[in-house]
Structure 1
Amino acid sequence: MLLSASAIAAPTTNDDPRLHDIAKAISADRIQQDITTLVNFGTRHTLSETKSDTRGIGAARRWIKKEFEQISANCGGCLEVITVGETISGEKRIPNPVEVVNVIAIQRGTTDPERYVLMSGDIDSRVSDVMDFTSDAPGANDNASGVAGTLEAARVLSKYKFNGTIVYAALSGEEQGLFGGKILAARAQEEGWRLKAVLNNDMIGNIEGVNGVINNSTVRLFAEGTRVTETEAESRLRRFTGGEVDSPSRNLARYIDKIADQYIENLDAMVIYRLDRYGRGGHHRPFNDLGYPGIRIMETNENYTRQHQDLRTEDGIVYGDTLDGVNFDYAAKLTGLNAVSLAAMSWAPTPPADVSIEGAVQPSTTLKWKAADAEQNPQLAGYKVYWRYTDAPQWQYSKYVGDVTETTLENIVIDNYFFGVASVSKDGIESPVVYPGAAGSFGD
């Protein structure tokens, strides 16, 4: 069906009170309790003790599993709590066989259970020597904050039902080589997950930067550009059609930036056009390596004296990642950003698939896409097209075009803008925007 982009009645609201309720429900006190519990395991180094009930990564992951199971019990068994692990050996940071175990909770969607979004934090901690698995490594901010945020998001979101599936993941082996993420990403690929978003939370509790800045009102969203899985043919096409700044990871980050503006009080998101911090890495990367949209969510101002440090005082500087370096209200704010984003994407219809564009040497631009499966997406109202100037960081213009699979923007020249399409629910909740072609695809 072809429809000229004229006035069409859009869903009545694009501001959902449930999303405001979710943001308000996140508890800083509960996040503080969970971070404290994780710190009290002494060390959570990947190579540390696994038999003790009070110390080491084994005790930590068993406690996380019990927390997920309790959350599930409170919602009538709404979570599938599992462990996903693999024995790793012969690696630079894991020379001898070690079982790397992730703790996963899955909240199945009601109409589209094979469509996934995922939130993660890292269980493991370390000190200065990455191979030191016996010294105390509290890992309060790096990364008990991310695990505590993931647990709290599960507590809040498990009170609701969603169309799509939400995965809450506590990943292991990050400091030794991103092994937990590699294991889970491989499982997602093997099982054919339609994974639309990975939100990796790694250090979400520090507001005092080593640069002297104190800031509790911004967050960084790291998002890679061109997919590493891009083929030579796709690369040649992209040279002439664009898409370098419109990968699904970048448009996922733009989506969460918009969520922050709309639903999270006093929080401005900085979208960073980079896979991660300069020369560094995180647990979203294994998912990006397989082509999945994924970003890193974290504090804006890091304090390196509190990261990967032996507990000590030198020249009047206190080193170590301890509880007093975590601002729990800030961690709750960033957890709220995650929870609202997960909820919005899971209530929204699936992002449009097979988006294409036409309009070379024409006065107008035509966008086409594949209709969403009606049984999987009964909440679908229609679609909205977006466009922006090519040097604009965020989408500037939009038009709701109804439940169609093709639309023409009259007198809007294809050469002068970037374009995309989002799905819209009957409640006005939108999916991320999808840029045309392979460069921007979120998959089927």
Structure 2
Amino acid sequence: MRLPVALAAPALAGLFVLGAAPTAQAQTAQPSTDQPLLRTLAAEVDPKALESTIRSLVGFGTRHTLSDTKSDTRGIGAARRWTKARFEAISKDCGGCLSVETPSQVVTGRRVPNPTEVVNVLGIQKGTTDPNRVIIIAGHIDSRVSDVMDFTSDAPGANDDASGVAAVIEAARILSKHKFPATLVYAVLSGEEQGLYGGKILADYARANGWKVAADLNNDIVGNSRGQSGLMNNTQVRVFSEGTKAVETPEQANSRRYNGGEVDSPSRNLARYLDGLADRYLTNFDVVMVYRTDRYGRGGDQVPMLEAGYPAVRVTEAVENYDRQHQDLRTEKGRVYGDTIEGVDFAYLAQVTRLNTVAMASLASAPPPPSGVKIEGAVSADTKVSWTPTPGAAGHRVWWRVTTDPQWRLNRWVPGPAATTTLKDVVIDDFFFGVSSISPDGWESPTVFPGAAGSFESPPPAAKPSGN
């Protein structure tokens, strides 16, 4: 729960600048960071539209990755084509603003014994001025029952993960009415239950196309508000984020172990960003940050994205009901099992969708996160923070916090093209530091921790095979 940017611990911040002479930086007004558009977008989320999407997906009987691909009424093929048609309809409404792509790979594996084409469906809304920077919202369309290899039994998958797909489609419906500097990608993935194949196909597609992925918001199991024990929680959502980068090199790990960064990967700072947006723009809804890549012993499509070096988080409901996950449809001793639509709270799902929609718009409107963030100050009473100026930014905000604090608390605005500031009487040993970019109209990027541990920079595009 990060404090609102404009109000972040003013009394404490004053302790660190008390007695400092006025400077040009201090005298230059920073843009207002309040964004009324985000409240407007949140208000446009329609629980009935979410319900309609889930009912349509449940109506395909099963969406198992290995199920029928030819039928128009049953199986994964019908569900994929229905999703593609929804994106095409949304694109028609916005004058062709979406290009609909269906990247695929033929895979085999422990849960895919025979070569099978796994197909993702993407709606791509190209950015106006920074199209290579990409913000992704994702959910997986495939479903399963108790036996992961059973591709014929009914597997409604209402919450796991038609709820995530519904959030993706609703975000596309709303955000496609607006233009953003960065590119938005609405990703409906396949093959998750059989081995996270959809996430890998997405990561491979991103790398092949040279996407600078600033965020992947993977929504998986986001529509239930009553847990296994009967506990009701419709005011919180969990956001899981990795602590250290999956692509960290041994040299980077040695530096991070000594100087810190275990809790400041780009994914972790993306989670903090979502938490701050929820506090500021949503009513009675909070992000619970969980310091794990995923739930204990489980996984999701954000994992292949992380393994490819992209910032990614998993968004999941606050309390899970395991009777409604990966279960055959049945009743035993009065206990109902199965992932049916009765287990979805559409008002709660609407709140999760609002969080995603607001985050997508904010990330796509803000400048890129800063690069080249460095700190200096060994054996000094002061700390120098520097960075590479972000193109298009009106300035940057330098953040710092005590090392045991989960949230950024203290900050200094640095206007214009300046790329360094010295924090007087702030000892480098006692704090963590970061920098965010702010646009002339007040949109703010996630905060970037210094060095490789916190960098948001994407891996280079995949090398193209050379011809003979």
Q: 1:36 aligns with which of 44, 52, 55?
A: 55
3-state SS of the aligned residue for 1:156? Answer: helix
1:190 deviates by 2.3
Pair 232,8 (structure 1): closer, same or farther in 2 beyond 3 Å: farther
C-alpha contact (below 8 Å) 1:357/1:366 kept by paired residues = yes
Q: Contact conserved, 2:25 with 2:415, CA < 8 A, in 1?
A: no
SS at match of 1:65: helix
1:420 corresponds to 2:438: no
> 1: CA distance between counterparts of 2:23 and 2:343?
55
**Residue by residue, what CA displacement relative to the aligned partner does 1:364-398 show, whole Å, maximum 9, x if unpaired?**
1111111223xxx3xx2110010111111111111
Equivalent position SS for 1:11: coil
Is residue 2:412 matched to residue 1:393?
Answer: no
Deviation at residue 6 of structure 1 after TM alignment: 5.2
SS in structure 1 of the partner of residue 299 of structure 2: coil
What is aligned with 1:97?
115
Shift of 1:238: 1.2
Q: How does 1:240-259 map to 2 (within 5 A)?
A: 240-259=258-277
How high is the TM-score relative to the length of structure 2? Answer: 0.92
Matched, 1:239 2:257: yes
Tell me the number of residue pairs that the alignment of Structure 1 and Structure 2 aligns: 436
Map of 1:384 onto structure 2: 397
Equivalent residue for 2:85, pick from 66, 80, 85: 66
Given the alignment of the two structures, is residue 156 of structure 1 paired with residue 174 of structure 2, yes or no?
yes
Separation in 1 of the partners of 2:372 and 2:251? 17
Alignment root-mean-square deviation, CA: 1.2
Contact preservation (8 Å) 2:30, 2:415? no
Does residue 371 (structure 1) correspond to residue 385 (structure 2)? The answer is no
Alpha-carbon shift at residue 188 of structure 1 (Å): 1.1
Aligned partner of 2:425 in structure 1 is 411
Corresponding position of 1:81: 100
Report matched runs for 1:157-196 at 5 Å. 157-196=175-214
TM-score normalised by length of structure 1: 0.97
Pick from 60, 65, 68 the counterpart of residue 49 of structure 1: 68
8 A contact 1:276–1:282 mirrored in 2 = yes
Partner of 1:138: 156
Could you tell me how far apart the structure 2 residues matched to 1:324 and 1:41 are? 16
- Large movers: runs of 4+ above 6 Å: none
- CA distances 1:105-137 after superposition (whole Å, capped 9, x unpaired): 111111100001100000000000000000000
SS in 1 for 2:26: coil
Name the residue aligned to 1:335: 353
State the Cα deviation string for residues 386-428 of structure 1 (Å, max 9, x = none). Answer: 0111111111111111121111111111111100000001221
| Residue 362 of structure 1: aligned partner | 380
Spell out, residue by residue over 1:205-224, the C-alpha distance to the aligned partner (whole angstroms, 9 max, x if none): 00000022101000000001
Task: Provide the rounded CA distance (Å) in 2 between the counterparts of 1:120 and 1:314.
Answer: 34
Determine helix, strand or coil for the equivalent of 2:355: helix
Q: Structure 1: any 5+ residue segments left out of the alignment?
A: none
Q: Deviations over 1:43-99 (max 9, x none)?
A: 00000011111100000000000000010010000011110101112x110000111
Say if 1:5 and 1:278 are closer, same or farther in 2 by CA, change over 3 A: farther
The CA deviation at 1:285 is 0.3
Structure 2: gaps (5+ residues): 1-21, 459-468
**Alignment partner for residue 438 of structure 1, among 435, 447, 452?**
452
Q: CA deviation at 1:20?
A: 0.5
Q: Deviations over 1:145-198 (max 9, x none)?
A: 000110000000001100111110000000000001101101212222111100
Same amino acid, percent of matched pairs: 57
Aligned to 1:9: 28
Please point out which of 225, 237, 262 is paired with 2:243: 225
How far is the alpha carbon of 1:237 from its aligned partner?
A: 1.2
